[in-house]
Amino acid sequence: MYAIMICLDEVEDDWIFITEDTGKCDWNLRPILFEDEETAFEYAQPWVKPGKDHNVMVVDYHED
């Protein structure tokens, strides 16, 4: 499975996953998962800013 991460702060190297909207304001956050890398890259495009494409990445995601 694949997930999308975006960088909040380059200096601090602070990254977060794009998560599902659970409809609740709690800390039970679940990354949006994709079966293939291409679909994840397509979904990630709204977060890619010109000249800052390195701040969005698709990563292998393994649930424990």
Write out the two tokens for 52.
Answer: 């800052």
Evaluate whether 31 touches 17 at the Cβ level (below 8 Å): yes
Average pLDDT, the chain: 93
Average pLDDT of 37-43? Answer: 96
- Rounded Cα gap, residues 13 and 22, in angstroms: 27
Average pLDDT of 24-53? Answer: 92
pTM, to two decimals: 0.87
Torsion of CA 49, 11, 37, 22, to 10 degrees: -90
Q: Is the pLDDT of residue 64 over 80?
A: no
